[in-house]
Amino acid sequence: MKASQGLEIEKKYDVDDDAAVPALDSLPGVARAGAPHTAVLEAVYFDTARHILASHRITLRRRTGGTDAGWHLKLPPLESGGGTAEPQQRRELHAPLGQPGVVPDSLLVHIQAYLRGAAVAPVVRLETRRTTHALYGGDGTHLADLADDRVTAERLHPGKGEGSVPGGQQWREWELELVHGGPELFAPAEELLVQAGARPAGHASKLARALGGGTGGQSTHNGSAPDGSTPDLAAGKKAPAAAVVNVYLAGQIQEVLAQDPGVRLEEPESVHNMRSAVRRIRSALAAYRKLYTARPVRHLRDELKWLGQLLGGPRDAEVLLDRLRGHLGELPPGEGVAAASDRVERKVGGAFDDGYRQLQEALRSDRYFRLLDELEAFRDAPPVRSEAVARGRRESAKAVDKSARRLRRSHKAATRARRGTDHENALHQVRKDAKRLRHVAETAALVRGRRAGKVAKAAQRQQKILGDFHDAVIARDLLITVGSRQEQTAAAAVFAALENRQDELMKDAEAKYRKARRKSRELLRRGVL
């Protein structure tokens, strides 16, 4: 059973024991505050012995008491880099109480990419005496809740049951969480709460405070936080090339981690999104490889290629199956269409199932978990060559120009290639080089802005058109394999019609590519940036 989920938008404040909750109905848009309601909440927080989840600002707990008893999983903030100064937006997933020490699989699936085979156990027990003040608008809308929490926390011995570590903690905090209200409520509420003695919280969560952490993510030496968040390139034109690349890579690594649960759960587009992130990382490492020592870059590219191929199996089958289903659906129903559909479903559907099975096995493997470790290690301590001190603007321009030249060469090779398989393969190479230029231009856009963005869009246009061309080639070849041309059956006639359709689509795509190439020729000439 899948976990239910929602979006939590809140802001925390530290407050002294003697502070009084102010008159909340004086806030703009708040017509009245409901009568305070008090409940005692008991929660046990789970993590690994090394507090891996806490380091990524992930909270896993089992709570009893109150209106939301059950298992709760809070995933990393949707907007990274904001610390505790801004409201946190976190996706929160829920599962029934179940057994005290057994984390539901519906929640575990969302954190496998972080756990990487490590076991979770109780690390903190909290008792919270919560007094809730509900805020309502003039029309009765429940806008927000202010929780006045008095917390008692005790750390537990990891791996030794739930025996507590000597010396607990106690504190008081206020937590303003939106229900149906808008974020404009936070600014006036903060002013009111600060006047009453509140201070912006020095911790990202109760768990972080209980474990002795602050905001839950001290920056590493290169500017990346343990949760994968990255700073803006404040240095702008003067930002070093390695910093520019690292910001780009960090975003794609975070995307791989974010898509992992969806791939495991077979959610639509998750395989495609993870595959795209993997390709972007490979492209950036290839384009900027001279900034780094060779061996770690070569190793990462090889491992990313392995993962990309595994992701490509089910994704390519899915695209092909959707394409042929659509074309079969356009034909008048009959015995031939039904027979052809059955063959396509068995052939391509079987390839999809086999590919997904292999992918799921890979996502449980030590090799995949090592790759994630290596990607984060590269992000946190990039092996930059000591002499690689060029500015990002210059290096990114050089990388884009080099990729553009590569694309021009593959285009010329395609125009000279003999019609047939050679020409089709040459256009496929053009597509791959256009994709690489797009990804490199995306890195340049971090410091080059709109011009680089235009290059990325032009390359994407060519990539997409030639992607349609390649899909038609793959579909045609599959149809030739599945439908024997020697057959004299209704299904054979259907396959022949579908083959002709792919040939037409290939011609259309090639014409569109030539047009797109002419439109972007000036933009993609030498010295594009």
> Above 70 in pLDDT, residue 487?
no
Query: pLDDT band at 237, cuts 50/70/90?
Result: low
- Chain mean position to CA 501: 36
DSSP 8-class letter at 76? P
- Name the more confident of 3 and 319: 319
pLDDT surpasses 80 at 484 = no
Q: Which pLDDT value is given to residue 486?
A: 55
Mean pLDDT, the chain, integer: 88
CA angle 40, 43, 49 (to 5 degrees): 155
- pLDDT above 90 as % of the chain: 70
Q: What is the DSSP string of 203-236?
A: SSSHHHHHTT-SSS----TTS--TTS-----TTG
Q: Residue 59 pairs with which residues in a beta bridge?
A: 74
pLDDT value at position 525?
62
Name the CATH topology of 236-520.
CHAD domain (1.40.20)
Q: How far apart are CA 39 and CA 155, in angstroms?
A: 22
Query: Which pLDDT belongs to residue 212?
Result: 82
163-189 mean pLDDT: 87
State residue 143's pLDDT score. 97
pLDDT at 238: 73
- pLDDT at position 126: 96
Encode pLDDT of 16-53 as tens digits: 999 999 999 999 999 999 999 999 999 999 999 999 99
CB 389, CB 244: distance < 8 Å: no
Interhelix angle 490-520/294-329, rounded to 10 degrees, is 130
Q: Where in the chain is the domain with CATH 2.40.320.10?
A: 4-210
Q: What are the residues facing 33 on neighbouring strands?
A: 135
Q: Which of 72-76, 308-312, 500-504, 519-523 has the lowest mean pLDDT?
A: 519-523
Using H for helix, E for strand and C for coil, what is the string for 345-408?
A: HHHHHHHHHHHHHHHHHHHCCHHHHHHHHHHHHHHHCCCECCCCCCEHHHHHHHHHHHHHHHHH
Q: Which residue has the higher pLDDT, 413 or 482?
A: 413
Average the pLDDT over each of 89-98, 368-377, 501-510 and give the range with the smallest value: 89-98
Bridge partner residues of 175 (DSSP): 12, 147
Inter-CA distances, 147 with 18, 174, 245, 337, 411, Å: 16, 6, 42, 62, 63
The whole-number pLDDT of residue 293 equals 93
Average pLDDT over residues 319-325: 94
Span 285-292, mean pLDDT?
92
- What pLDDT is stored for residue 381 in this prediction? 93
Which residues does 1 contact at the CB level (< 8 Å), separation at least 6? 106
Span 94-106, pLDDT tens digits = 999 988 889 999 9
Task: Return the pLDDT at 389.
Answer: 66
Fold category of 4-210 in CATH:
Hypothetical Protein Pfu-838710-001 (2.40.320)
In the chain, residues under CATH classification 1.40.20.10 are 236-520
Sign of torsion over alpha carbons 88, 91, 97, 98:
negative
Query: For the chain, percent helix, then strand, then coil, each to nearest 5?
Result: 55, 20, 30
**Token code pair at residue 418:** 């003999």
